Amino acid sequence: MKKKILISDKVAEEGIAILTKSAEFDVVYKTGLSEEDLIKEIRDASGLIIRSATKANAKVIEAAEKLQVIARAGVGLDNVDLDKATAKGIVVMNTPAGNTISTAEQAIAMLFALARKTAVADASMKKGEWEKKLFQGTELRGKTIAVIGLGRIGMEVAKRCKAMAMRVVGYDPFIAREALSSMDIEVLELDEIWREADFITVHTPLTDQTRDLVNKDVIKKLKPTVKLINCARGGIYNEQDLFDALKEKKIAGAALDVFTQEPPKTLPPFHELDNIVLTPHLGASTDEAQIAVAVEAAENVAEYLLTGVARNSANFPSLEVNEYNVLKPYIELVEKMGALQGALMEGGIKEVSIYYTGVFGNYNLSPLTSSYLKGLMSSYTDATINFVNAPFVAKERGLKVQIGEDQASRDYSHLIIIRVKGDGGENELWGTVIGSQPWIVKFNEYLIDFIPAGKMLIMHNNDVPNVVGSIGSFLGKHGINIANLHLARTKRGGKALVIIEIDDELGKEIVEEMAALPEIIDLKHITV
């Protein structure tokens, strides 16, 4: 059956064509929908592609019965209820690469406009004036520009400024200084930037940390000749404080492409000033960028629905295809480990410790953690648990999750050790992948090798003769075929572990009867 993909905002035809040519999808392209009509259309949709007009709020998301992914053809996700989507297990993606060059070039355009007073000179000329002396500018060569936020767009801005012989300094607490060395960018602290910058351009998301990053207190530290640029998100500069500083000539100029309210209605009267350049959020407004974000959104949605690989997700660990291919068997392994431990533990689980040991390199291991929690939490709730909402559900239930990594992996190139603690005690599993198959290689104190799959009987028994024989006879009497049998013990005559894979489900009465066999200490019948 085809998967329905709803496109509810205007996007470039090149993006739509990617989806319509696939036999896997039924593409519905309807724009300008009311909330009521959107709810009707989204009810049976597997994917949703939007821009800024569609509001994917809690009410809309709640109505979606099959929705797996929402993709924004653009960067901002202000119009998506991310928490609600996560709780429902819906992947939310944006397309940061598609408008990278377009936004970087807009910032450079703003830089030139400020340096050469282009906008006010143009307005003057159109009035029939020739006020050449009023519009004397400044060269960019040798000036210091501070790039705050050194992600894709910030880096592209920095490259262009270096080409113009500017001194480029930067700040980004989330990128190691070593990673910036090849770009020849001086990494400074913010207090140094405030003192030294001739121009400041911001390229960060709007978060609690970046909101009002430049305010009246910061403005006091800036050069009076500084000029500020914002092509990122409205609110990074405090707009009222910026207006006051420009009006009182405490700083020389500013250029804004983004605002806290779009279209602006209650903002300070920037239009009264001649030392500011204003544009109506044009960062992504090029023909090339519109095609790029549409294509990227379509490709991301198709890839996720067909392969499970998520790119540029805001609420799910993103993987590149090569990473996914390497980690796929381990993703399956940890989900099986989670299901096994969830079924074995009595009572609630309070703590999980996961140790990724061995040669995992620099792969993103977050999807493995999500997969483990999916397997684990599925044993504790009737709600639908998937890779997206499993960490959310675990956190909601107060589960403490600790992650560790270690290059030492005992006798295996890759080994995953998971220990759980709860009301019923502790449980520890060691798992690895052998020949693309998931294997458990240690079960608590027992060294044992088995593939966690299908219907299983897991029991402890006294290590005495004829236990295995009596188990086999019992299962044979009830017509239950043994697929595989695994034995382990720590010492002769102690407590042994028996794991039996069976072909058929056992009823509750048969399980209770089997548990009462002589020498059986405990018995669990589980399916993983």
Whether residues 445 and 463 fall in one domain: no
Whether 393 and 463 share a structural domain? no
- Does residue 104 lie in a domain region? yes
Q: Is there a domain that residue 312 lies in?
A: no
93 and 105 together in one domain: no
Residues 301 and 326 in one domain: no
Report, as an integer, the average pLDDT of 91-115.
92
Beta-ladder partners of 432 = 439
Active site (annotated) includes residue 233: yes
Residue 256 lies in a domain: yes
- What is the pLDDT averaged over residues 380-389? 70
C-alpha span between 54 and 63 (Å, rounded): 15
Give the confidence band of 96 by pLDDT, cuts at 50, 70, 90.
confident
- 417 band by pLDDT with thresholds 50, 70 and 90: very high
Of these residues, 281, 299, 303, 428, which one is catalytic? 281
- Average pLDDT (390-418) is 82
Which member of 51, 233, 460, 489 is catalytic?
233
Q: What is the mean pLDDT of the chain?
A: 90
The number of domains in the chain is 4
Both 64 and 115 in one domain: the answer is no
Residue 427 contacts residue 345 (beta carbons within 8 Å): yes
Q: Give residue 178's pLDDT.
A: 62
Q: What's the confidence (pLDDT) of residue 56?
A: 95
Identify the pLDDT of residue 262.
86
Q: Where are the alpha helices (DSSP H) in 215-346?
A: 216-219, 239-247, 287-307, 321-344
Q: Which of the following is catalytic: 262, 299, 303, 428? A: 262
pLDDT at 278 over 90: yes
Q: Is 271 a catalytic residue?
A: no
Indicate the pLDDT class of residue 386, thresholds 50, 70 and 90. Answer: confident
The contacts of residue 66 (CB under 8 Å, 6+ apart) are 4, 43, 44, 45, 46
For 490, the domain range is 454-528
Tell me, yes or no, whether 284 lies in a domain.
no
Q: What is residue 74's predicted lDDT score, i.e. its pLDDT?
A: 84
Same domain, 469 and 353: no
* Amino acid present at 57: N
d(CA 493, CA 384): 44
pLDDT band at 174 (very low <50, low <70, confident <90, very high): low
End-to-end CA distance of the chain: 27
State whether the Cα torsion 386-388-393-398 is positive or negative. Answer: positive
* Pair 151, 169 in one domain: yes
132 and 271 part of one domain: yes
pTM score of the predicted model: 0.65
Residue 507, CB half-sphere, CA atoms under 13 Å: how many? 5
pLDDT value for 75: 77
